[in-house]
Structure 1
Amino acid sequence: MAGCVFPMGPESFQRFTPDSLAAIEQRIAQERARRNKHYQEDLGDVVLPRRRPDLEAGKQLPRIFADIPSHLVGVPLEDIDQYYFKGKRTFIVLNKGKAIFRFNATSALYIFSPFNPIRRISIKILVHSYPSSLTVLCMMVFCWGDRVCREGRG
């Protein structure tokens, strides 16, 4: 594998900001321009970045990265996998259990950017342990509403 771009440890985590997204877009544009401008190089000496199997979505963060600072738990971060960092529009979110969640940084439904409050709330719900609690709460509300409707009819 080629040399790692990021320092190992908690200092390798950077918040995902609009500037981060602009930098990703710039890297992708530069790579496209380079490919269009130059003829296909002999890739025999060039080592293309590969996905790191220990940084796949759903897996726990390797011990090399040490502990996650508490202010970065549940917050969108720049991707730490070199494969995604170089040319993919992605960001990651880590939960308290150090599980990796990878999200696409393009606009969802062509409306919700990664920085949209609705999208941020939905990411927080997905990453934290809220879904089971919210599911139970929603089921209670809908069952209560269904019971009220049935009693009102009869």
Structure 2
Amino acid sequence: MRLLYQKQVILNAQRLAKTLQDFGYEIVTGGTDIHLILVNLRNKNLDGNRAEKVLEAVHIACNKNTCPGDKSALRPSGLRFGSPALTTRGLMEEDFDVVAEYIHESIQLTQFICDKLEGGSKAPLKEFKNCLYNDPEVQQRVKILGDKVYAFASSFPIPGHVET
């Protein structure tokens, strides 16, 4: 049983990496043989700090992460995603296509916010966060995407969690 789970974790991570590549994202290692992937956003002219904030706002867990070639750990160009938590909830490869779509929409929203700011993706993080949390148009987009993510995730049970 455990071996099947471990294989599914890897299959899911591989599917996430492949689907994100299909959307035009660079996977640092070209793919994955483990449970993690590292997406480099440099080709999207974005950084992991800003994208992480948007993903967090729409209920998608990830970590900003440095990538080879980054000049500063304070402005990492990467996002790290893992597949074990979602695999534990019962997601299979085709479900990770949906997850990749939501990640893609989140990164597009990150770009939308940057485009609203003077200085674009080079604007201070404080200004980016102010726009993310206070701009009515951005808040509406965050809510719409967050509701989609929440509805999708809610269709998969959390092991050990009993609804009351």
**TM-score after normalising by structure 1:** 0.30
